[in-house]
Structure 1
Amino acid sequence: MNNRTLYPKAGLGSRLYALIYDGILVLALEFFAAGIVVAILKALVAAGLMTYAPYSGASDLLGGHPILRNLYTLYLGGIWISFFVYFWTTTGQTPGMRARKLRLQNPDGSLVSITQALIRIGTSAFGLSNLSSPFDRQKRGFHDVWAKTDVVVLTDQVR
């Protein structure tokens, strides 16, 4: 057993703070990613390689074309999911979690797997499952129970 298994579990307030912090970062990342797609489309139109017709512009094309709409949604969803999977599986901390000194880990203190991260995202209800953490004896959210993970507070003194 290592010291990482002895950290106290994170409470709801810290979890929500990290969720809001990360939500703002992901939103900014999504805007940037969307801007890249729009810029590419505009460059293709300017070069005469494609046209928006019968759509009125890049946004209308991305939101109205049945195939492009689905691909665009998958693209943006993939970026959102990749953000959390990358941070959880490499350091156990998203930037928001780092700001609150939180860490996602397995009960034995090891980093979570990609599968666990995907299960956690899939059962998180966009973070709302954190609201169940005060009702669990081990302070786990619904998504933590399903993924078999813990969110702990990295303190200077280990209990």
Structure 2
Amino acid sequence: MSSLANAPRASLGRRLAAWVYDFMVALAVYMLAGAVLFALFTVLVSVGVVDKGGMTHTVDVLQSSPVWLTLNEVGKLLAVTWLFVWSWKKKGQTLGMRAWRLRVQRTDGSELDARQAWLRAVVSFGGLAMFTLLWDDEGAAMNDRISGSEVVMLTVEQNRSLMERD
């Protein structure tokens, strides 16, 4: 594979297209995490760790408790964030990025470390940070600059090589 350090930065259009794909995957992970967390909460209610407070349905118990409701939402958001961090750390690509031949990397072409991946995920605000590309002459979004990373466009060969790599 040729050097990724000199790969061209990805356009807003390609990033948006990849975001649409990734949104669908993230939504599925969010729903799956919600089901797992609700099952766990149901067990906690069943064994008496969480008091039902006279309510009949477990979902009512969850929705009436700001603490448990917040923990539930935070857990789902962490699951989605972890999906992106894991994908970026593994090969620098999410499913949507693979489809659109994009890769997130350090500016020297190497892979992100865990700190950079988490920082990038947190400051991207669900993808909204990509719109800061509109004000950047160098093609770097706010989350690129803050995390010391860039999103580049790959050739077909580079993308294939990344997908075949262990």
State the TM bucket, normalised to the shorter chain.
0.7 to 0.9
Letter in 2 for 1:69: L
2:114 pairs with 1:114? yes
- Identity percentage of aligned residues: 30
Deviations 1:2-56 (A, max 9, x none): 61112111000110111121111111111112112333444566xx524633445
**Structure 2 Cα separation of the partners of residues 78 and 90 of structure 1:** 18
TM-score scaled to structure 1, two decimals? Answer: 0.86
Equivalent positions of 1:1-159 (< 5 A) are 3-42=3-42, 48-50=46-48, 52-156=52-156
Assess, with a 3 A threshold, how the Cα gap between structure 1 residues 149 and 62 changes in structure 2: closer, same or farther. Answer: same
For the residue of structure 1 that corresponds to 2:104, the secondary structure is strand
TM-score scaled to structure 2, two decimals? Answer: 0.82
Structure 2: gaps (5+ residues): 159-166
Letter in 2 for 1:23: F
- Per-residue deviation at 1:152? 0.5
- Over aligned residue pairs, what C-alpha RMSD do you find? 2.1
> Does structure 2 conserve the Cα–Cα contact (< 8 Å) formed by 1:117 and 1:147?
yes
**Structure 2 Cα separation of the partners of residues 157 and 96 of structure 1:** 17
- Per-residue deviation at 1:155? 1.1
**Structure 2 Cα separation of the partners of residues 42 and 70 of structure 1:** 16
Structure 1: gaps (5+ residues): none
Deviations 1:82-117 (A, max 9, x none): 011101111100011111010000011111111111
> Does structure 1 conserve the Cα–Cα contact (< 8 Å) formed by 2:101 and 2:156?
no
For the residue of structure 2 that corresponds to 1:3, the secondary structure is coil
**Structure 2 Cα separation of the partners of residues 20 and 56 of structure 1:** 39
